Structure 1
Amino acid sequence: MEGSAKGLMLIGLLLVSFVRKIASLSVTVNDVECLYEYVLYEGDTVSGNFVVVDHDIFWGADHPGLDLIVTSPGGNTVHTSKGTSGDKFEFKAPRSGMYKFCFHNPYSTPETVSFNIHVGHIPNEHNIAKDEHLDPINVKIAELREALESVTLEQKYLKARDVRHRHTNESTRRRVVLYTVAEYLALAAASALQVVYIRKLFSKSVAYNRV
């Protein structure tokens, strides 16, 4: 019983030590904005997503999107997304070190980006306890953790896209209302000018007949 309790405690500690939280943040991109994430092990899976949330440009159209360029510690490009309002990415880290995620905004309008990233690590014989019983348990725990994190990432991505769609719908609704009000005002002004013009014509006609 004591050995079994120690085994469960060890498994619990291993599970806690393997857990890597998903980094979630919001950043405003004016021109170029770079974020950094450190990868501990070569071959780790780096996954994530981003969604551009448009600012409220009342008379403008939706933003055509941003570019994302991911570079490795050696300066090599490992992922690129061009002109998109939202995208998902996943790649194997070619080496350990600091990875750079740069958003490029080619337009003058600042944009807010919802960004989520996760570095997944599944242990192998080089970095787990040397125990024939714990080795497969470690691997299964890591695989389960990664599956759960993948689901969480997808949920965050869908939630951010839903926020963007609601924002776009609300902005479109306000634009339609304003266009409609402006159209009615223009119609009323045109009608008033027509009335004034017709009255002037009649007044001139009456004055001419009197002469």
Structure 2
Amino acid sequence: FFFDCWRLNLETMQVGRLITLTYFLYLVGFVDAFGSGLTLKIEAHAEHCVFDDVKTAGDRVFFSFQVTAGGSLDIDVAIHGPEMGDIWTTERESESRVLFKAPVTGTYQFCFSNKMSTLTGKTVQFHISVGDPIEAMSKNKNKDRKRPDSIERSIVRLEEGLMEIRDEQQYLRTRERIHRDTAESTNARVMYWSIFESGLLVLMGLGQVFYLKRCFEVTRNV
């Protein structure tokens, strides 16, 4: 009897953990739907825009970008509202982060311009996040006449923190790769220049030896 009770409790705990894990994965997917990270290749004299919809006025919009390859690692960026008004613009920037509240609903444009470049294309990595997962979950719960409990809020906040850590790690990895590429390129140039200097010194030494040898040669007429 006691063995059966212990086995029943163990099975109940396993089922409860499985349900909790399933619910957590559901919330992870729910929160992850609010953000998107992409990479674009912008050719010279080209401009590319991406679009994202804001369904509620006052929603939080987070936008970040970083030029990872190409030329001087700079690009022109602009954010346009639904009425084609400029919300934010910058020129010849390598990286930046913007957080603002959408004044109106509609489709917002995030444009990258490489028109100032004559030959080199640019590779841009960017991230767009629209809305607050907690508020969206509350609205969905209110439709069912329920409110998210503290556990749900804690899980979503935890997932938000994990997403921020993930984005920060990706940002730092990208910066490290850019700096490593720059350092490796500089080291390669130094190495090639050192090889050139060494070869030039060897040639100059051989030339001086040959010249001195010719100077001390005595020509005898028979």
The two structures have a TM-score, normalised by structure 2, of 0.69
Which segment is superposed worse, 165-174 or 150-159?
150-159
Deviation at 1:152, TM superposition (A): 2.9
| Aligned residue runs from structure 1 range 141-180, under 5 A | 145-180=159-194
Between the two proteins, what is the percent identity of the paired residues?
30
2:135 matched to 1:123? yes
CA distance in 2, matches of 1:71, 1:141: 34
Deviation at 1:111, TM superposition (A): 1.9
Deviation at 1:193, TM superposition (A): 3.2
Question: Could you say what the CA RMSD is over the residues aligned between the two structures, in angstroms?
Answer: 3.5
**Gaps (5+ residues) in structure 2?**
1-15
2:61 matched to 1:46? yes
Aligned to 2:36: 23
| Aligned residue runs from structure 1 range 101-140, under 5 A | 101-105=110-114, 106-108=116-118, 109-121=120-132, 122-123=134-135, 127-130=139-142, 134=147
Aligned to 1:99: 108
Which segment is superposed worse, 135-144 or 44-53?
135-144
CA distance in 2, matches of 1:193, 1:95: 77
Aligned to 1:59: none
Deviation at 1:83, TM superposition (A): 2.0
AA in 2 matched with 1:36: F
| Aligned residue runs from structure 1 range 75-86, under 5 A | 75-86=84-95
- Structure 1 residues 104 and 129, CA, compared in 2 at 3 Å: closer, same or farther? same
CA distance in 2, matches of 1:201, 1:36: 78
- Structure 1 residues 169 and 120, CA, compared in 2 at 3 Å: closer, same or farther? farther
Check whether the contact 2:64–2:127 (CA below 8 A) recurs between aligned residues.
Answer: yes
Counting helix residues as a fraction of each chain, which structure ranks higher?
2
Residue correspondences, number: 194
Check whether the contact 2:31–2:160 (CA below 8 A) recurs between aligned residues.
Answer: no
Structure 2 SS opposite 1:75? coil
**Gaps (5+ residues) in structure 1?**
56-61
AA in 2 matched with 1:24: G
Deviation at 1:43, TM superposition (A): 1.7
CA distance in 2, matches of 1:41, 1:161: 34
The two structures have a TM-score, normalised by structure 1, of 0.72
